Structure 1
Amino acid sequence: MPIRVDLLALEPNAPGQARLTVKKWQGVAQNLEFSIQRNQDAFYLQNGQQWSNNPYWFQVSSFDLDASGETLQTQAGPEVVDPLLEGSANSNFQIELREQGPGFSDKGVVRPGAGLLPSTAGGQTRSTYDAGHLAAPAAAAPEIPQLPELPLAEPEPEPAAPEPSFAISETEPLAPAPAEQKKRRWIWPLLLILALLIAAAAWFWLKKPDAPVPVTSAATPAEAGACTLESMSSQPELTFVQACIKAAPASAELLEIITLAKSNNHCGVAQRLYANRAQAGDLQIASAYAHEYDPKYHKASSCFAEPDKATAAYWYETILSHEPDNAEAKQRFEELQK
């Protein structure tokens, strides 16, 4: 049974870096080497991101085991990631893993996973293979300088309001206030209350936060037209695919977009849309992609000229990894292994 090989994005993602995982390997985990061959011209990937008709073996001193103990994994860098990203739209890649010597070997299909970024997306990156192994890049945390404590300014005490003094004449007897003074007595408290209300209203108004800018729910023109034929024809392939995937069309709608891409010879767009959503777990898209390569369902087109049993089996296996009881995927996967 062929090995299952995936090239997955790191967590956190790092441009030009990926995690190469291998399942169903029956050999040892030390002193291994692998070659990668593309289907379009049967050329092999070389060191230095070149292609040649002679096999080149990337050596890995030791693969690590994941937590399950069933998957081998190692880190790959730009020498592997960049060429596969550049050619993944129009090519399929076969990987052969073997024990150095040579010894036991096995083959499978490898495809770049969703979210992988080329090294050009993040400037300079280190070489992939330094004695067959590359440590995961670790970004040093920036030091935050300690700021001196600022003395808090103590509010100056407000001058106490002078207490009103009332002079009492010792010579003149106190006379009852006239009726007019009685009316003025209740006016002053009323004016005081009114002044307090005005002051409170002014304070509330000054402290009132700015009203938030209303957010319109209407889609922007870029989002509304992210998956149109016009955008497909006017934008770079990768830019269009990223924008269209971000718009998150439903599976049926995405299949229509893929059909539109195929009919207009945008083969790279069709394959990238297929692969991205299929690897993300969209089983309807994964099944349709498998049918493009399955000899049983294959319909020749400019984008999918010939069937490819290994690639079809890869996508049926992807479906089974999400839905083990999928009858059609299980039946076709077993049939393609014969």
Structure 2
Amino acid sequence: MLAKILPCQPAEPGFAQLMIRLRGEDTLLSNLNFTLCNNEQNYLQHDGRWSPAPHLFTLNGGYLFNNGSGFRIGPALLDPLLASASQVQIQAQLASGETRSTTLQLVRDELFSSGARGQTANYGSSSVADSPLPATESEPFPVTAAEPAPPEPIRAPTTARPKRNSSLFPIIAAVLLVVLIAAGALWWFMGRDSATPSAAEKPEAPAASAAAKPDANVCSPANLASQSELDFVQNCVQQKLDSDKLLLIIQAAKDAKQCGVAQRLYAHSAQGGDTRVALAYAAEYDPQDHKPSECFKTPDPDTAAYWYDTVLQTDPENQKAKQRLEELRK
């Protein structure tokens, strides 16, 4: 499936056309039910907010457009999509009951939010621009004469203390030294053994801790079945896995037919600048490298080209992406 938002002809701020093209099908879609989910795993709501709770949008009045089905959308959808820099996944529910999802593409350079309309149409009104208040001169601080310091009180003369007789100091010091030496000798011969704890009194070494239980929130294939799709993807995103580990998780999700998990992890990392993951995601749709699976049943050259172009935005000299993008656009 290819999903793309294109400008109206002529362009109209706040309005655009959503084009949906189903690979291998020419059927015109008269209506479309879908959800929109960003990289933070939040869903667009009817009031323009993003929330973890999924919200189903419905569009009616489909028409033929660019070899697919077109739907006119307004500010409620277009404005929050343009305001967000995050990549958005669209998941469409077809009348047959089948669910398809892909990355929603926006031609941002040609789209305008409703705020671009301006306020110049009503010539009968007037507006007053907020002007800064005139600068006021700061009032000088009042200068007060310093109060003279109070005179220091006259201290009464102190009488000299009588000098102590220092002749007893050597005798007292000698007695104390003898006492200290005797106490040290007594401790050495009698108290040394009692000061050292016996082997029986020594504290026992802490028992070895039990083997750590695996964390239920760890991003691993073992937790695919025990967590919801949203929780699992959020845990993986928060743990910032490297490319090798993430590709293993994605492969495990594909094997478990957890297609939403695989596609969201692909899109989040590819859009975040991971060229290895972006190349792998493009290969899922590239007719040259496509391997049929439950999650990627048929090739999609347009989607493959989109992800090769995403690679080149991060790595302009990537030869694989340059070569395949050139061939797909022929």
When the two structures are superposed, what TM-score results if normalisation uses the length of structure 1? 0.48
Who wins on radius of gyration, i.e. which is larger? 2
When the two structures are superposed, what TM-score results if normalisation uses the length of structure 2? 0.49
